[in-house]
Amino acid sequence: MAKLNKAALFLAGRQAERAELEDALASTRAELIAVHGRRRVGKTYLVRAIYQKHLCFELTGMRDAALKLQLANFTRALSPRVNYALEPPRSWVEAFELLKRYLTKELSHGARKVVFLDELPWLASARSGFLSALDHFWNSFGSRQSNLILVICGSAASWMIVNFLHHKGGLHNRVTRSIALKPFNLHETQAFLKGRSIQLEPDQILELFMAVGGIPYYLDYIRKGRSAAQTIDALFFSANAPLREEFTQLYASLFEHHERHLKVIRALAKKHSGLTRQQLREGSGFSTGGALTTVLSELESTGFILRTVPFGKTHRDALYRLVDAFTLFHLRWSVTRTHEGPYWIHRRSTPAGVAWAGYAFENVCLSHVRQIKKALGISGILTEESSWQHRAHSKSDQGAQIDLLIDRPDGVVNLCEMKHSSTPFVIDKKYAQWLRERAEVFRRATGTPKTLFNTFVTTRGVARNVYSEELVAMQVTADALFEP
C-alpha cells in the first residue's frame, strides 16, 4: 500500500470519532465537545487534524503550574490572535472576558470557529476558579453562538467524566458530544504499521501488541527492519529506552493521588485470574470502601482494568483483572533496569516469558471479543460475556476457572480457552481429562441446561488428534483477531 502521511496514520481506525467531529462542523448549533482518553492515545492530534483550518484559539494547560503562570500562558496564546500585546488577566473570569471579546469579532464573519482547551485538568487546579469561569463563559456566551465549537480535552479521563460528563452544576447536560478515544485494536495497529511501510507478520505484531498495546505514541517508535523482539528491547531495555520512565508518568498524569491506583494495579498484577473488591481492599490496604470504589471506577473507565460479573452471579461478586498490556509488561519485567545486549530476545522463550505471553494473549482476546464472535459466526447475536470461578470446598470437590464465557440465547455457552503457543496447541490425555471434568464442574455448580461448546482461541490452531476431535467444538486462530 502507498505510504500514508502522518495525519492519515494517526487517524487510522478513528472513523467513528472523525465522523463525530466532522458532523459537529456541519451542525447549526453551538457545540461543547469533550474528548477524553489516556495519555499518548492521540486526543490532541485527532482534534488538530480535523479542526486545523477552523481553530481560532488554542490553549494547553501547564502541569503543576501556579494560577499566575497559567494566566500568563493564556495571554501568550491570545495576544497573536488580537495582534497586540495583552496584559495578563488577574483571574479566569477576566481571561474568559478577553476571549469573549475576541470571539465576538471572529464569529461575526459567520464561519464555523473552534476553540480548543487542551489538558483541561491542569488548567482547573484547586482554587483556580477556572471551572466556574468556564461555566459562566459557556452559559452566558458560548452556548448562544451557533457557529462556535468549544472542544475540551484531557488525559485525566476520570477527571473529565466527573467534572463534565457527570457534572451536577452549571455544565450539567451542556456537553453536546462526548468522545472517548480508545487505543487501537489489532486491525488498526496493523494498518498503522503498514502505512509506515513496516512489514511484519501477524505473530510479530501480536507480540508487540502484547507488550505495548495499541497506543499510537508507543507504536510510532517502531522502526523498519526490526523484529518484534528487537523492538521491545529497544523500547524498554536499551540504554536510551524511550518507554523506561513512561510507567510512572502515565499514572501520575492520569490520576490524582495515583499512588492509590498503583496499589490496586500491583495487587492485580500478582493475581492473573482477578480479584474481588473485598480481596482488593484486604490486599491493597484501603481504609475505606469509598476510596477503593473511586479508584476502581477510574481505572476501569480508562481501560487499565476489566470488571466482569461471573456467570450466574451479581455485580457484588464482580472480578477485577489487569488488562493493560503496557502496565503488565512493565511490572512483569522490571523495565526500569538497563540490560546489556539483547535482553528480551533471550527472555521471551524462557518459562517466565512463556507464562507472560499466555496471560498477555488472554488479555488481547478479552479486548477482541467482537472479533472472536465474528469468527464463531455469532456476531449478530446478543450475548453476555463473563468469567467463572469455582473454589473447591472439600477434597472431593474440584475447583475450576474459565476466563471467558459467551452465553448465547440459542441455548449454547461457549467455554473459551485462550492459548498462546508458537506451534499448534496439543491436547494430551491429561489435559483432555481436565476439560471433561471442568465442563462437569461448571454444569453442576451453575445448574445450566445449555449445551457447552469447548471453544479454543489460539495463536496457531489446535493440533488434530483423538482428543481435539472429541472435545473441541469450535476454534479461532489469532488471525481472526486482526479483523475489523
Model pLDDT for residues 209-221, shown as the tens digit of each residue? 999 999 999 999 9
DSSP H or E run through 58? strand 55-60
Q: Tell me the pLDDT band of 30, cut-offs 50, 70 and 90.
A: very high
Both 449 and 434 in a single domain? yes
Residue 30, domain CATH = 3.40.50.300
Q: Answer with the residue of higher pLDDT: 85 or 470.
A: 470
CB atoms inside a 10 Å sphere around CB 432: 16
Cell match 471479543: residue?
369
Both 52 and 128 in a single domain? yes
**What CA–CA distances, in Å, run from 248 to 118, 171, 251, 258, 331?**
21, 32, 6, 9, 11
pLDDT at 283: 78
Cell match 463563559: residue?
137
Q: Answer with the residue of higher pLDDT: 408 or 125.
A: 408
Which residue, of 152, 180, 208, is where some domain finishes? Answer: 180
Both 377 and 239 in a single domain? no
195 part of a folded domain: yes
Residues 120, 78 contacting (CB under 8 angstroms): no
Both 138 and 173 in a single domain? yes
pLDDT at 168: 67
pLDDT at 1: 39
Both 226 and 295 in a single domain? no
Task: Say if residue 9's pLDDT is above 70.
Answer: no
Which residue, of 145, 180, 215, is where some domain finishes? Answer: 180
pLDDT at 22: 96
Both 229 and 266 in a single domain? no
When pLDDT is averaged across residues 95-122 and rounded to a whole number, the result is 95
Both 251 and 265 in a single domain? yes
Task: Say if residue 186's pLDDT is above 90.
Answer: yes
Distance CA 357, CA 252 (A): 27
Q: Tell me the pLDDT band of 400, cut-offs 50, 70 and 90.
A: confident
Check the CA dihedral 36-42-47-50 and report its sign. Answer: negative
Both 45 and 110 in a single domain? yes
pLDDT digits (tens, 9 = 90+) for 122-176: 999 889 999 999 999 999 999 999 999 999 998 876 778 777 777 666 676 789 9
Cell of 304: 487499565
Cell of 404: 471467558
pLDDT at 3: 47
325 part of a folded domain: yes
CA–centroid distance for 277 within its chain: 21
Q: Which domain holds residue 296?
A: 247-331
Which residue, of 124, 147, 180, is where some domain finishes? Answer: 180
Q: Tell me the pLDDT band of 313, cut-offs 50, 70 and 90.
A: confident
When pLDDT is averaged across residues 324-331 and rounded to a whole number, the result is 96
1 part of a folded domain: no
When pLDDT is averaged across residues 22-51 and rounded to a whole number, the result is 94
When pLDDT is averaged across residues 70-80 and rounded to a whole number, the result is 96
**Residue 266: Cβ-neighbour burial (10 angstroms; 0-12, 13-18, 19+):** middle
Q: What pTM does this model have?
A: 0.89
Both 357 and 471 in a single domain? no
Tell me how many domains the chain contains.
4
42 part of a folded domain: yes
Both 214 and 318 in a single domain? no
The mean predicted confidence, pLDDT, of the chain is: 91
Both 195 and 300 in a single domain? no
pLDDT at 169: 67
Name the percent of the chain lying above pLDDT 70: 94
Q: Answer with the residue of higher pLDDT: 285 or 181.
A: 181
SS3 state at 416: strand
DSSP H or E run through 57? strand 55-60
Residue 417, domain CATH = 3.40.1350.10
pLDDT digits (tens, 9 = 90+) for 438-447: 999 999 999 9
Task: Say if residue 408's pLDDT is above 70.
Answer: yes
Both 17 and 43 in a single domain? yes
162 part of a folded domain: yes
For Cα atoms 137, 139, 145, give the angle at the middle one, nearest 5 degrees.
85
SS3 state at 268: helix
Task: Say if residue 64's pLDDT is above 50.
Answer: yes
Which of the residue ranges 57-71, 120-134, 284-298, 340-354 would you say has the lowest mean pLDDT? 284-298
